């Protein structure tokens, strides 16, 4: 089985953290999402993955062309301009043979069974099968209207008005190679805007319902939610605490499950970390700190008596003493937040910026 992973989007909704990495490399419980996606594909019998890249392609290529993933061949294809979600498939045609293949939005954390979806596609006999999921607010997604045989009657991408269905496109598909002939070459083409509505009209689009864990990490809140969900699952067999190698937790410091601590982390006395905190490797947490509902990337330094709640902190950020970082804050890589600064809800700090004064209204610090 082959799979194409779409991983070339600009991830604008995750700025400023995505200014320095594509979202597929954001850690989810301390491992890049794309590592997790590839691993699951291998588990379900995929032996070749094509990564469709554009934005910060080099960062992904560096990792996956050199990293040793046994049992799988990884091919990276870089678009010199963004080709959308269907254009990259046309570009990959020569790597796809006569068999149906999987296509994945690369920004989704899910436990879906890819093999099951593939087999469902073969049974339905259409040109394409898409995984669908029920959600309450459909407006951010592609919406599908189904008949009683699970055929997609209509596909509406990001509907503006009222729609009857609560079923959305989960961004995971099996396509017949004949679909490649329908994609015009050399320009941006969207599956969701051109191909799927047409396939639905032709009665060639089927749905596979999935109701398990599924999160599109494309927005900060959802990225945090993906970490929470996975943390609950992965920490369970470890009594709620995932512990890296050579971690030092000083006396009187407390880990409140579920929590994930990366390698070489140091937590000083009197600090409380968790629940729902992920600390990347080499993080240092000073005395008397409180860290909850947050993700800290690798190498974050937090000074004594600081509090971080519901925030995402980029790689190698330095946070001073007595700092308060509130819900929804996003701190770009390498930024420095000086002693006694408070960042109110929803403040974003650009990479390598130095913040010397408190910010009490939501804004982007450039
Ligand atoms: N190679 C490449 N080139 N990849 C791209 C490009 C491009 O030009 N544009 C977007 N992508 C990748 C993104 O990196 C992401 O992994 C995936 O395609 C989907 O793009 P998003 O920008 O995340 O789309 P979305 O989340 O708004 O909507 C899509 O996903 C929803 C499910 O989460 C649509 O497929 C919706 O229909 C769907 O419901
Ligand atoms: Mg998305």
Which CATH architecture group holds 2-218? Alpha-Beta Complex (3.90)
Q: What is the pLDDT of residue 162?
A: 86
Locate the ligand 1 atom nearest the alpha carbon of residue 52 and give its number: 1
- Select the CATH number that applies to the domain covering 221-365 from these four: 1.25.40.340, 2.40.50.140, 2.160.10.10, 1.10.150.20: 2.160.10.10
CA distance 359 to 345: 9
As a whole number, the mean pLDDT across the chain is 96
Q: What is the pLDDT of residue 34?
A: 97
Name the residues around ion ligand 2, CB cutoff 5 A.
107, 216, 218
Domain ranges of the chain: 2-218, 221-365
| Residue written as token pair 């002693």 | 339
Domains 2-218 and 221-365 share a fold: no
Cβ–ligand 1 distance for 22 under 6 Å, the answer no
CA-nearest of 61, 71, 16, 2 to 34 is 61
CA distance 82 to 52: 10
**H or E element in which residue 82 lies:** none
Cβ–ligand 1 distance for 169 under 6 Å, the answer yes
CA distance 326 to 321: 15
Residue from 3, 4, 6 whose mutation best tests the ligand 1 pocket (most atoms within 8 A of CB): 6
Name the stretches of the chain with pLDDT < 70.
66-68
Cβ–ligand 1 distance for 32 under 6 Å, the answer no
pLDDT tens digits, residue range 164-212?
899 999 999 999 999 999 999 999 999 999 999 999 999 999 999 999 9
């Amino acid at each position: 089985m082959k799979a194409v992973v779409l991983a070339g989007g600009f991830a604008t909704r995750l700025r400023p953290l995505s200014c320095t990495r594509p979202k597929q490399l954001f850690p989810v419980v301390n491992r890049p999402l794309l590592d997790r996606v590839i691993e699951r594909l291998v588990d379900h019998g995929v032996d070749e993955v094509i990564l469709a890249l554009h934005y910060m392609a080099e960062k992904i290529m560096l990792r996956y062309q050199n990293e040793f993933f046994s049992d799988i061949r990884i091919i990276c294809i870089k678009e010199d301009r963004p080709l959308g979600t269907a254009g990259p498939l046309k570009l990959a045609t020569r790597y796809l043979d006569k068999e149906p293949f999987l296509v994945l939005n690369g920004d989704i954390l899910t436990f879906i069974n890819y093999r099951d979806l593939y087999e469902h596609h073969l049974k339905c006999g259409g040109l394409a099968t898409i995984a669908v999921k029920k959600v309450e607010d459909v407006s951010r997604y592609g919406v599908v209207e189904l008949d009683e045989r699970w055929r997609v009657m209509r596909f509406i991408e990001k509907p503006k008005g009222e729609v009857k269905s609560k079923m959305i496109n989960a961004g995971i598909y099996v396509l017949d190679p004949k679909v490649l002939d329908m994609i015009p070459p050399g320009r941006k083409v969207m599956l969701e805007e051109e191909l799927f509505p047409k396939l639905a009209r032709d009665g060639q689009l089927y749905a596979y319902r999935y109701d398990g864990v599924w999160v599109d990490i494309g927005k900060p809140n959802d990225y945090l939610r993906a970490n929470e969900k996975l943390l609950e699952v992965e920490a369970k067999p470890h009594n709620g605490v995932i512990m890296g190698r050579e971690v030092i937790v000083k006396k009187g410091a407390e880990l409140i499950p579920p929590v994930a601590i990366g390698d070489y982390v140091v937590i000083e006395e009197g600090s409380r970390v968790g629940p729902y905190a992920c600390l990347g490797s080499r993080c240092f947490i000073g005395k008397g700190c409180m860290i909850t509902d947050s993700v800290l990337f690798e190498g974050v330094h937090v000074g004594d008596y600081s509090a971080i709640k519901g925030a995402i902190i980029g790689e190698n950020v330095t946070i001073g003493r007595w700092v308060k970082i509130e819900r929804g804050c996003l701190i770009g890589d390498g930024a420095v937040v000086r002693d006694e600064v408070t960042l109110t809800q929803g403040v974003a700090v650009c990479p390598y910026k130095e913040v010397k004064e408190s910010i009490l209204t939501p804004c982007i610090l450039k």
